[in-house]
Chain A
Amino acid sequence: MDLNRLVSYSLRIGVFASALLSVVGLFAWAAGGFNNIAAVAGSDIAGTLSSAVRGDASGIIYLAIAILIATPVFRVAVSSVYFGLERDRKYVLISLAVLSMLIFALISRLAA
C-alpha cells in the first residue's frame, strides 16, 4: 500500500468516526431534553471522556473531538513509519519533528 492511500484512509476513518460520534452525541443531548452543556478544561476532560461510556452527551462529543484531533497526529505517525520502511532518513526526521511538536501541544501546560 502506498503512502497516499494509507494517509487517505486514516484521515477518512478518523473524520467519519468523529462526525458519527458527534451525531450520536447530539441525539443523546436531544434525548436528555436539551440540557445545557458546559465546556471543560485540563484534567476534567479525562473525566468527561469516561462518561461517554454511560451515554453522556458531553462525554460522547468530547470523544468525537479527541478522535478528530488525534486523526492528523496519527497521520503524521503513519507517515514517519512509512518513511522509515522506505529508509528515507530525511523524511523520518522531518515527520518526527512535526510529531514531537504535536505531542508537546497535547501534554504541555501552555494551556493553563
Chain B
Amino acid sequence: MLGPVDVLVIFLVSIVAGFIGALFGLGGGVLIIPFLTLVEGVPVPLAVGSSIVSVVATSSSSAAAYVQDHLTNLRLGMFLEIGTVAGAITGAFVAAFLPVSALFILFGLILLYATIIMIRARGIDFPANVRPDKTSRTLALGSQYEDHSLNKVVKYEVTRTPLTVFMGYFAGVVSGLLGVGGGIINVPTMNLVSKVPVKVASATSNFMIGVTAAASASVYLLRGDVHPLLAAPLIIGVAGGALLGTRVLKVTPPTRVKIVLGILLAAISLLMILKGFNLPVVL
C-alpha cells in the first residue's frame, strides 16, 4: 500500500529521472525501474508497467522541444518506429512468461556493450563521407540540423538503415520487457551504425520512444500492471524534469554529453547484472 510519503518521494525521484532521461535520449526508465524495485519494494510487473507509462511522458515532453528545434529527424524516426513498435508489443507480451533475472543479466550485458562502443568511438558528432544506403536514398532520410553550441548548420546522411531497423526491433523488445524507453540501444545504433550525429540520434530516439512505450504501455495497462498511485507522481515528475533536461542539451558540448552518458550507462549496466544474479544491490 502506498502512502503520501511514498508518492512524494517517487515524485521527487522522477523529476531527476526525467531530467537525465531527456539529457541523454533515454526515457528515464533506466533510473525509475531500479528505484521502484530496490528502494520502494514495488513488484516488478507493476514497476515496469508504471515506468513505461512515465516513459511516454518523458519522451513526449522532450520530443516536443526537440521537434520544434528541428533536431529530430521525423522521417527516420517514423521509419524506425516500424521496428521499435513491433518489438515493444513482442516484449510486453513475452514479459509475462520469462524469468526476470535472466532479462536483467541480458539487459546489463547489452548496455555494457553499447557503453564500450560509445566510449571507444570518437569524432562521430559530425560524421563525414557517409554514403547513404538504398533504403536511405529511397526514403530521403538524410537531413541537416543547426548546432547551437557551434552556431552552424550540420548536414548528414543516413547509412546501413536495415540493420538499424532490426536493432530498433530489438530495442523495442527490451523496452516492452523491462519498462525502459529503448534509447540505450537506439542512440548508439543510430550514431554508430547509421552515422547519425549524436544530438540528432538522441532527439530522434526520444521521439521514437514515446510511440514505442505507448505500444507496450497499452499491453501493461490492459493487463492491470499500471498502478495509479505510481503512475501519477511519475507522470508529473518526469514531464517536469524532461522540460529542464531539454534546455541543457542545446548548450552542452557534444563530447561532454557522450562522456557523461558513458559513465551513466556503465553504472546502470553493472547494477542490472548484479540484480540478475540476485546479489543484494544497495543504492
CB distance from B141 to the nearest CB of A (A): 11
Please determine whether A94 and B214 come into contact, CB atoms closer than 8 angstroms. Answer: no
Please determine whether A11 and B222 come into contact, CB atoms closer than 8 angstroms. Answer: no
Q: 0/1 per residue, A1-21, Cβ < 8 Å to B?
A: 001110111011011101100
B79 at the interface (CB under 8 A from A): yes
Please determine whether B239 and A19 come into contact, CB atoms closer than 8 angstroms. Answer: yes
- The one of A5, A18, A44 that contacts B68, using a Cβ cutoff of 8 Å: A5
Q: 0/1 per residue, B48-72, Cβ < 8 Å to A?
A: 0100010011011101110110101
- The one of B63, B219, B229 that contacts A11, using a Cβ cutoff of 8 Å: B63
B106 at the interface (CB under 8 A from A): no
Q: 0/1 per residue, B219-237, Cβ < 8 Å to A?
A: 1111111111101110110
The complex places the Cα of A25 from the Cα of B182 at a distance, in Å, of: 29
Please determine whether B4 and A11 come into contact, CB atoms closer than 8 angstroms. Answer: no
Q: 0/1 per residue, B72-116, Cβ < 8 Å to A?
A: 101100110110011011001100000000000000000000000
Provide the main secondary structure of the chain B interface. helix
CB closest residue in chain B, given A58 = B228
B1 at the interface (CB under 8 A from A): yes
Please determine whether A98 and B78 come into contact, CB atoms closer than 8 angstroms. Answer: yes
A54 at the interface (CB under 8 A from B): no
Q: Please, which residues of chain B bring their CB within 8 A of the CB of A61? A: 228-229, 231-232
Q: 0/1 per residue, A35-49, Cβ < 8 Å to B?
A: 011111110110000
Please determine whether A7 and B78 come into contact, CB atoms closer than 8 angstroms. Answer: no
Given A39-B227, A40-B224; A4-B74 close (CB under 8 Å): yes
Would you list the 7 A-B pairs with minimal beta carbon distance, nearest first?
Answer: A41-B224, A111-B222, A61-B228, A72-B210, A11-B64, A105-B218, A22-B232
| 8 examples of A-B residue contacts, CB within 8 angstroms | A19-B57, A23-B232, A39-B225, A69-B56, A90-B139, A98-B81, A101-B82, A101-B89
Binding site for B on A (CB under 8 A): 3-5, 7-9, 11-12, 14-16, 18-19, 22-23, 25-26, 29-30, 34, 36-42, 44-45, 57-58, 61-62, 64-65, 68-73, 75-76, 79, 90-91, 94-95, 97-98, 101-102, 104-106, 108, 110-112
